Amino acid sequence: MIFGPDGKPAYGALDSGGADEQVEVTRSFSYKHNLGNYESADFFCSAKRKATPGAMAAMSEALDLFCEDEVRRSLSAFIAARKRKLAQIDEQIERRAK
């Protein structure tokens, strides 16, 4: 927990702000996909938005879900492209073997 100069939790200080006060909320999500043979593909998303202190938790959750969804979408596209490439390589090998 982070404490402010008054010794009170800093997070609690945000809840007492004015209605027009804005805080910046940043969330990120990363995933390392093992390709084998000591290779990996790394996927990362970071997003930030401003929110009022009262909406901070909801905004944090929304950004977290957004980042996770973006990483998973990128991972799915990467895997599909990799499968297509491997299928092309297999076809080339089969043609050369004939």
- pLDDT tens digits for range 18-72: 556 888 999 999 999 999 999 999 999 999 999 988 888 899 999 999 999 999 9
Pairwise CA distance, residues 12 & 2, whole Å = 10
Q: Is the dihedral of CA 49, 57, 6, 19 positive or negative?
A: positive
* pTM of structure: 0.71
From 47, 1, 5, 54, select the one nearest 26 (Cα to Cα): 47
Residue 1's pLDDT band, with cuts at 50, 70 and 90, is very low
Q: Where are the domains of the chain?
A: 21-97
Q: Which residue has the tokens 């390589």?
A: 89
Q: Which residue has the tokens 């927990």?
A: 1
